Amino acid sequence: MISQLPKVQLEPNQPVTVSQLPSVSLAAGQQVAVTELPRVKLETGQAVRVYTTTPMLTKPVGGESMATSLLTITEGMGELIANTSRCHVLLKASSTNIDAVTLGTGWTLAAGEQLKLETTAALSFSGTDGDTIQIIEVTR
C-alpha cells in the first residue's frame, strides 16, 4: 500500500496519465482544485451527484434584458444571427403573412403561429418575400 507519493518533477509540456489515485486526506484549510477531468461514460442506471458549498453558476432561465425586432423575408430568405448572450428567442409569424414561414429545413410557422426556442444559434428562415417574423430576443 502506498501511503505517500514521492516528489515528482515534470518537464515543461510533458503529459502525464493517472489511471488511479490513492486515498487523499486534506488537513483543515487545504484545498484541491481540479482543472480538467477525463471523459466519463456512465452506464444505464448510473448517476453522478454533485455537492458544493458555493452556488453553481448556470445559464439563467429569464435573462436580464430583451430586444424586439421584425425580420422581413427578402429574396426568399431571412436570418437571425447567432447571439451567445441569448437565453431564448420568441418567434411569431406575423398574422398578415401570405404563406407559412419555414424555420431551418422544415419547421413551418403559419401566419400568427408562435414558437419559443432556447438557443444561441443562428436561425435561418425561408418564405414569401415581404412576409415577416416578429422576434423577442431575451439575453443575459
Cα 37 to Cα 9, 33, 55, 105, 134, distances in angstroms: 21, 11, 20, 37, 43
Each residue's pLDDT tens digit, 77-132: 999 999 999 989 999 999 999 999 999 999 999 999 999 999 999 999 999 999 99
Main-chain dihedrals φ then ψ at residue 131, nearest 5 degrees: -70, 150
What is the rounded average pLDDT for all residues in the chain? 87
pTM, two decimals, is 0.57
pLDDT, tens digit, 9 for 90 and up, residues 17-41: 777 777 778 888 888 777 777 788 8
**pLDDT band with cut points at 50, 70 and 90 for residue 52:** confident
